Amino acid sequence: MTWSLNEIEGLSRKAARGAGLSWGLAEEAGKATRWLCAAGLPGSEALAGLLRRNDGAEYDALCPLGETGTWAARGGALCPLISGAAICDRASQIAKGEALELGETSFPLLLLPYVAAAAQSSDTPLKIEWPGVTVTFADQARISLSQQGALTPESVATVRITAAATLEEGTPLDHVTRGNIEPGIAQVLTGFAHRTYAPGTPESRLAGAGAGLSDND
């Protein structure tokens, strides 16, 4: 089933919020998923997988620790949505030549929109790499794959983000106006989104459409 990019962003935002992210992070998650789908990449699948993997985990277990050295998460794997926001905050340092190293990271595909935003805000070509994948962001984003399936792993051991000294060869990312979401993925995201809805009360049910009490005598 195809969805408009607005629909994808809205559902993704609600799903991220329902999974326990703050409204600010959920807003960015919606935008990130939209960006990926607009580039012809499986953003919805990555988000659904991440939310299922991190369901019930505490924020402190998923966020990057330490200002120097390789970023790592106390709980094992970094959340790309949390790390992505931190990457944007360090855009100027990366642009000046400071390489950023991430340790184990879940669904690294979700980092791409954040690195793209960092490249734009710093007005500097940036590059993100993990085993089998290199993506360069300049006037046009280009992706190079050297391993089958390397683009969409559930986790990778390392991610490296640097200024791009030379623009890499690669395939330009697509630009599409609608995205495909498989029914099973849509169901997962909708399930998380439903957590944002307030539970019904007797008063709200009576005030809603339809008869809360009926007299059929």
Q: What is the pLDDT of residue 75?
A: 81
pLDDT digits (tens, 9 = 90+) for 30-75: 999 999 999 999 999 999 999 999 999 999 999 998 655 799 999 8
**How far is residue 28's CA from residue 148's CA, in Å, rounded to a whole number?**
29
- How many structural domains does the chain have? 1
Classify residue 79: in a domain, yes or no: yes
Nearest-Å Rg of the Cα atoms of the chain is: 20
The DSSP secondary-structure symbol of 132 reads T
Classify residue 65: in a domain, yes or no: yes
Q: Mean pLDDT for the chain?
A: 89
- Calculate mean pLDDT across residues 139-154: 91
Q: What is the pLDDT of residue 214?
A: 34
Classify residue 216: in a domain, yes or no: no
Residue numbers of the domain that contains 66: 2-197
Classify residue 150: in a domain, yes or no: yes
Overall pTM surpassing 0.85 (yes/no): yes
Classify residue 204: in a domain, yes or no: no
Classify residue 12: in a domain, yes or no: yes
Q: What is the pLDDT of residue 199?
A: 63
Is the pLDDT score of 167 beyond 80? no
109-123, 160-174, 191-205: range with highest mean pLDDT:
109-123
